[in-house]
Amino acid sequence: MNSTNTAQKPQRVIALTGLIGLVCLALLFAALAASINTKPYMPPKVAQKYMEEWLIESARRVAGEVRLKHAQAIEPFYLRRDYQPVWMDSYELTDAAKELLQVLRETAADEWRQYGYELPTLERETSRLSNLPKQATAVEVLLTDAFITYADQALNAELLPDTGEGDHAIRKVSAMANPGTRISEEQIVNLLAESIRRNELDSLVEKLTPSHPGYLELRKQLNRYLAISNSGRWYPLPDDLALKAGERHRMVPHLRWMLSQYGDLRKGALSWLFKESEERTLAPADHETVDLSRPEFLFDDTLAEALKSFQQRHKLKDSGELDKATLGWLNIPPYQMAQKIALNMKRWRHLPRELGDRHVMVNMADYRLQLMNGGSVELDMKVIIGNLQRRTPVMAHKISTLELAPTWSVPRRIAVNSLLPKIRRNPDYLQRKGYQLITQVNGVNQFVNPHDVDWSKVTARHFPYRLVQKAGSDNALGTIKFLFPNNKDIYLHDTSQPQLFNLEKRALSSGCVRVEKPRLLAEKLLRGYQGWTRNNIDSAIDQNRTTRVKLQDDVPVYLMYWTTWVDEDGVLQVRDDVYNRDLIAGRPAVNPVTL
């Protein structure tokens, strides 16, 4: 009996030891798991030490190279916070910091100007963040400095392209009505402090950036083209390359790769067949022997359809063939397209955050007008915009009044430059086109018979008359004028030359926007207000009865210039820069058609 107990005791000891070992091992794994899931913590005194070093002891140079632009404002801001971080949660970026970095990237991506965000340093330091308090606090201070710079630019309307043009300079006023209203650095810092106090830092960053769906969709496209550029795999196709369905060429795999990256070539059931060739970084060398009979070198129908998609997005002839114009657009480097997209993103800053449930949107670069209603297109039509000497300005106003069967008071510049030579040749031109010649005598308007004027003595400098064209079929404004008060005499109107809408390029007016379907637009805007049905509109016009109608509710109208935008199907659209407004790195963008 005793011998049996003696034999069992070592076994119990071994079992107990094993159990203790298992428990210790479990505790060890639990400790390791806890350490992995525990966020490293930066003690306040440590944060204070290194932030004081950046802001005071290091001559305000951060990360060894960046001299802070707003050091005098930043140091007291952090002093009041006991030097506790705003953008860093110990050693990690907060959501607000990540959003700020995204905004800084997309704002600076067009290289339109020197923005001063010190992005290269910020990107480098954030990409290698670790549990080093000196590095984390450097990122913190750099982000605050960049935020103040960005907020100053955003709040003081310094991020608005397409301004300052001289086309309509006669009535031009400063974008800043009162220079004294500029938002100061102190106000920005106070705004930052208040948003932190309210726990609304994320919201503050968002409010300084357009939130329109169109802006956010372009953000996705910008990131797409930056990724293509950063991949290092993009290179242009040969300048003399021309292809159509059924042909074979060593560059077909690269063309397929390009179109797949741009989103025109959808991945299909046979995508595995071309995977190897699409993953090639370099094209086959000229001296390299390739077997063109292999399927990846065939310009097949699927690739032709993808090319048609690309052509349609760029408003090219959608032949599905690789021609010179298509090649020109394909060979624009993705970083330049990213710049173009980023600049177009800024154009959303011209618009209010709320566009209005019902509004008129004109995209000059697309020669198109849309009447929007509840997010849907209620009406769509072509437009004619200002010519290259009288470019239509970007504007945001409200249509308040319609004028049916309008008269036209001819601007002096048009009267002396365009009409005077015709009048000299034949004074009957005025009567034939319905113009009245008016002069002032003792402050009173008087009509003048054109045949009583010695036109040989009338010059552009000496033209003491006004010309007013009566309502009628020859009236340059056509049948309707859509008025929105502005200081540049710009409005929407009909035209006496509707055949011009058949042209592809329609930068032809003297600045105003001519609309293709004016009566339908008037009907939609009036919506039967005070009995103004389509029949009543037509009757007033047909009788040449000039009538002004005040809208019951003003309708916002936006004259915009988007050479890139994302349509309702989520597809990136690209157009020619007819006004040469897309500035890439301080110079006009290349016209791809001429490549």
pLDDT tens, residue by residue, 72-131: 999 999 999 999 999 999 889 999 999 999 999 999 999 988 999 999 999 999 998 888
What residue spans of 410-473 are helical by DSSP H? 412-414, 420-425, 428-432
Q: Are residues 390 and 421 in the same domain?
A: no
- In this prediction, residue 18 has a pLDDT band, given cuts at 50, 70 and 90, of low
14: pLDDT strictly greater than 90:
no
> Does residue 505 sit within a domain?
yes
Of the pLDDT bands very low, low, confident and very high (cuts 50, 70, 90), residue 588 is very low
Q: Are residues 241 and 197 in the same domain?
A: no
Q: Is residue 158 part of a domain?
A: yes
Q: What is the DSSP letter of 35?
A: H
- Look at residue 240 in the predicted model and tell me its pLDDT: 94
Whether 448 and 532 share a structural domain: no
Domain co-membership, 158 together with 136: yes
The predicted structure's pLDDT at residue 130: 87
Structural domain span for residue 288: 235-332
371 and 420 share a domain? no
Domain identity same for 265 and 318: yes
Per-residue pLDDT at 139: 93
Which tens digit of pLDDT belongs to each residue from 168-199? 764 433 333 445 589 999 999 999 999 999 99
pLDDT of residue 141: 93
Q: What is the pLDDT of residue 3?
A: 53
Are 368 and 380 in contact, with CB atoms under 8 Å apart?
yes
pLDDT of residue 167: 82
Task: Look at 4 and 148; give whichever has higher pLDDT.
Answer: 148
Which is more confidently placed, 14 or 381?
A: 381
For 89-106, the DSSP string reads: ETTEE-HHHHHHHHHHHH
CB atoms within 10 A of CB 143: 26
- CA 98 – CA 94 distance, rounded (Å): 6
Determine the longest span between alpha carbons in the chain, in angstroms.
148
Among 132-136, 156-160, 279-283, 497-501, where is mean pLDDT lowest? 279-283
At 413 the pLDDT is: 87
For residues 427 and 387, state if they share a domain.
no
Residues 141 and 281 in one domain: no
CB-side neighbour CA atoms (13 Å) of 117: 23
| Helix-helix angle 518-526:534-542, to 10 degrees | 130
Looking at the structure, tell me whether residues 280 and 426 fall in a common domain: no
Q: Which residues are catalytic?
A: 493, 512
Same domain? 198 vs 244: no
CB neighbours of residue 556 within 10 Å: 20
Read off φ and ψ for residue 89, nearest 5 degrees: -105, 90
User: Average model confidence (pLDDT) for the chain?
Assistant: 88
Which pLDDT does position 283 carry in this prediction? 63
Answer yes or no: is 445 within a domain.
yes
Is the residue at 198 inside a domain? yes
Could you tell me the pLDDT band of residue 25, with boundaries at 50, 70 and 90? low
Instruction: Assess whether pLDDT exceeds 50 at residue 587.
Output: no
Which CATH number is 292's domain given? 1.10.101.10
**pLDDT at residue 47, rounded to an integer:** 85
Q: Are residues 400 and 416 in the same domain?
A: no
Give burial (CB, 10 Å; 0-12/13-18/19+) of 10. exposed
Return the structure tokens found at 126.
């954030």
Give the model's confidence band at 594: pLDDT under 50 very low, under 70 low, under 90 confident, else very high.
Answer: very low
| Domains of the chain: total | 4
Tell me the mean pLDDT in the region 149-173: 82
pLDDT of residue 9: 56
Give a yes or no: residue 28 inside a domain: no
Residue 132 in this model has a pLDDT that exceeds 50:
yes
- Quickly list H helices, 295-409: 301-313, 324-330, 334-346
204 vs 196: CA distance, rounded Å: 9
pLDDT score of 17:
62
Nearest CA among 490, 501, 484, 522 for reference residue 404? 522
Q: How big is the CA angle at 122 (ends 119 and 126), to the nearest 5 degrees?
A: 140
Given a contact cutoff of 8 angstroms between Cβ atoms, the answer to whether 396 and 352 are in contact is yes
Does pLDDT of 325 surpass 90? yes
What CATH number should be reported for the domain holding residue 366? 2.40.440.10
Q: What is the DSSP letter of 40?
A: P
**Residue 331, pLDDT above cutoff 60:** yes
Alpha helices in 449-582 (DSSP H): 518-526, 534-542
- Going by pLDDT thresholds of 50, 70 and 90, the confidence category of residue 60 is low
CA dihedral 372, 373, 374, 375 (to 10 degrees): -20
Query: Each residue of 232-282: pLDDT tens digit?
Result: 999 999 999 999 999 999 999 999 999 999 999 987 644 545 554 444 545
**Residue 364 resides in a domain:** yes
User: Residue 252: inside a domain, yes or no?
Assistant: yes
The model's confidence at residue 381, banded by pLDDT at 50, 70 and 90, is: very high
* Domain assignment of residue 148, yes or no: yes
pLDDT digit string, tens, across residues 475-528? 999 999 999 999 999 999 999 999 999 999 999 999 999 999 999 999 999 998
102 & 243 share domain: no
Work out the pLDDT band at 583, boundaries 50, 70, 90.
confident
